[in-house]
Amino acid sequence: MKKENIKLLAVTVAIFVTGLVMVYYVMENPTDSMVERMLSRENIWRAFREHLVIVGVSMAGALAVGIPGGILLSRPRFYYIGKVFENIVNIGQTVPSLAILALFYTILGLGFNTAVFAIWLYSILPILRNTFAGITSISDEVIESARGMGMTGRRILTRIELPLAAPIITAGIRTAIVINVGTATLATFIGAGGLGDLIVTGLSIRRNMIIITGAGLSALLAILLDFWIGQIKLRLVKW
Amino acid sequence: MIKIENLTKHFPGLDRPAVNKLSLEINEGEVCVLVGPSGCGKTTTMKMINRLHEPDEGEVYLNGKRASEMNQIDLRRGIGYVIQEIGLFPHMTIKENIATVPRELGWDRERINKRVRELLDLMGLDPEIYSDRRPAALSGGQRQRVGVARALAADPPVMLMDEPFAAVDPITRARLQNEFLRILDKMDKTIIFVTHDINEAIKMGDKIAVLREGELVQHSTPEELLDAPANEFVAQLVGRNRSIKRLHLIRVEDIIEEDADKYSVAAESGRKEIKDKLSESKVGALMVTDEQGCLLGRVDEQSLKKEGETAGELVDEIHDQVTADSTLNDSLSVMLESGEGYVPVVDEEKGFFRDIITLQDLLQEVRQG
Ligand SMILES: Nc1ncnc2c1ncn2[C@@H]1O[C@H](COP(=O)(O)OP(=O)(O)OP(=O)(O)O)[C@@H](O)[C@H]1O
Ligand SMILES: [Mg+2]
Task: Please check whether residue B137 touches A, CB under 8 A.
Answer: no
Predicted-complex ipTM score: 0.85
State the CB neighbour count (10 A cutoff) for residue A181.
27
Enumerate the domain spans of chain A.
Answer: 3-236
Q: What is the pLDDT of residues A10-40, one digit of tens each?
A: 999 999 999 999 999 999 999 889 899 999 9
Considering only CB atoms, A239 lies closest to which of B73, B77, B91, namely B91
- Ligand 2 centroid – CA B5 distance (Å): 20
B149 lies in the same domain as B43: yes
Question: Which residue out of B42, B48, B53 has the highest number of ligand 1 atoms within 8 Å of its CB and is therefore the one to mutate?
Answer: B42
For residue B80, the 8-state DSSP code is E
Minimum-distance ligand 1 atom for the alpha carbon of B19: 14
Asked whether the beta carbons of residue B104 and residue A142 sit closer than 8 angstroms, the reply is: no
Q: Distances from the Cα of A1 to the Cαs of A5, A6, A8, A10, A17, in angstroms? A: 7, 7, 11, 12, 22
CATH topology of domain A3-236: MetI-like fold (1.10.3720)
Asked if residue B37 has its Cβ within 6 Å of ligand 1, the reply is no
Alpha helices in chain B (DSSP H): 42-49, 72-77, 94-98, 100-104, 109-122, 127-130, 140-152, 170-187, 198-204, 222-227, 232-238, 242-245, 252-255, 260-263, 271-280, 301-304, 311-314, 328-338, 359-368
Helix (H) or strand (E) holding A147: helix A140-148
For residue B283, give the CATH number of its domain. Answer: 3.10.580.10
**pTM, two decimal places:** 0.83
CB-CB contact of B118 with B99 (8 Å): no
pLDDT band at B17 (very low <50, low <70, confident <90, very high): very high
Q: Domain end: B198, B224, B250, which one?
A: B250
| Mean pLDDT of the region B292-311 | 88
pLDDT of residue A213: 95
| The pLDDT of residue B255 is above 80 | yes
Q: Domain end: B250, B272, B302, which one?
A: B250
State the CB neighbour count (10 A cutoff) for residue B50.
24
B232 lies in the same domain as B271: no
For residue B87, give the CATH number of its domain. Answer: 3.40.50.300
Give which of B146, B26, B136 is closest to B82, Cα–Cα.
Answer: B146
B333 lies in the same domain as B347: yes
Strand B57-62 relative to strand B65-66, pairing: antiparallel
B190 lies in the same domain as B320: no
Question: At a CB cut-off of 8 Å and minimum separation 6, what does A124 contact?
Answer: A61, A62, A65, A66, A69, A176
pLDDT of residue B175: 81
Minimum-distance ligand 1 atom for the alpha carbon of B36: 21
The whole-chain average pLDDT of chain B stands at: 91
pLDDT of residue B188: 84
Distance in angstroms (rounded) separating the CA atoms of residues B116 and B153: 7
Helix (H) or strand (E) holding B159: strand B158-162
Distance in angstroms (rounded) separating the CA atoms of residues B280 and B105: 61
B159 lies in the same domain as B288: no
B73 lies in the same domain as B182: yes
Asked if residue B11 has its Cβ within 6 Å of ligand 1, the reply is yes
Distance in angstroms (rounded) separating the CA atoms of residues B292 and B61: 50
Residue A54 Rama label (left phi>0; alpha psi -120 to 50; beta): alpha
B228 lies in the same domain as B310: no
Task: Please check whether residue A76 touches B, CB under 8 A.
Answer: no
B347 lies in the same domain as B306: yes
Q: What is the pLDDT of residues B109-148, one digit of tens each?
A: 999 999 999 999 988 899 999 999 999 999 988 999 999 9
Considering only CB atoms, B104 lies closest to which of A142, A150, A238, namely A150
| Mean pLDDT of the region A46-50 | 95
- Ligand 1 centroid – CA B173 distance (Å): 25
| The pLDDT of residue B166 is above 90 | no
Beta bridge partners of B26: B2
pLDDT of residue B369: 63
| The pLDDT of residue B244 is above 90 | no
B125 lies in the same domain as B167: yes
Q: Domain end: B250, B281, B306, which one?
A: B250
Which range (A73-82, A164-173, B183-192) has the least confidence? Answer: B183-192
Which range (A128-132, B188-192, B272-276) has the least confidence? Answer: B272-276
CA dihedral B314, B316, B317, B319 (to 10 degrees): -150
Distance in angstroms (rounded) separating the CA atoms of residues A151 and B146: 18
B227 lies in the same domain as B351: no
Distance in angstroms (rounded) separating the CA atoms of residues A39 and A37: 6
Considering only CB atoms, B83 lies closest to which of A141, A160, A237, namely A141
pLDDT of residue A93: 82
Q: What is the pLDDT of residues A77-116, one digit of tens each?
A: 999 999 998 888 888 888 888 888 888 888 888 899 999 9
Q: Which residues of A touch B92 (CB under 8 A)?
A: 239
Give the structural domain span for B43: 2-250
pLDDT of residue B76: 96
pLDDT band at B248 (very low <50, low <70, confident <90, very high): confident
Most confident of A215-224, B187-196, B237-246: A215-224
Asked if residue B47 has its Cβ within 6 Å of ligand 1, the reply is no
Strand B207-212 relative to strand B57-62, pairing: unpaired
Chain A interface, best mutation among B89, B103, B133, B162, by max A CB count within 10 A: B89
Distance in angstroms (rounded) separating the CA atoms of residues A27 and B247: 92
B185 lies in the same domain as B226: yes
Question: At a CB cut-off of 8 Å and minimum separation 6, what does A57 contact?
Answer: A116, A120
Question: At a CB cut-off of 8 Å and minimum separation 6, what does B69 contact?
Answer: none
pLDDT band at A62 (very low <50, low <70, confident <90, very high): very high
pLDDT band at B258 (very low <50, low <70, confident <90, very high): confident
Amino acid B135 reads P
- Ligand 1 centroid – CA B299 distance (Å): 55
Phi, psi of B2 (to 5 degrees): -115, 130
- Ligand 2 centroid – CA B249 distance (Å): 25
Distance in angstroms (rounded) separating the CA atoms of residues A134 and A169: 6
Q: How many domains does chain B have?
A: 2
Q: What is the pLDDT of residues A125-145, one digit of tens each?
A: 999 999 999 999 999 999 999
Q: Which long-range contacts (CB under 8 A, 24 or more apart) does A15-18 make?
A: A15/A220, A15/A223, A15/A224, A15/A227, A16/A224, A18/A220
B126 lies in the same domain as B15: yes
Considering only CB atoms, A147 lies closest to which of B52, B85, B89, namely B52
Q: Distances from the Cα of A226 to the Cαs of A59, A171, B134, B231, B359, in angstroms? A: 13, 10, 28, 69, 71
Minimum-distance ligand 1 atom for the alpha carbon of B14: 5
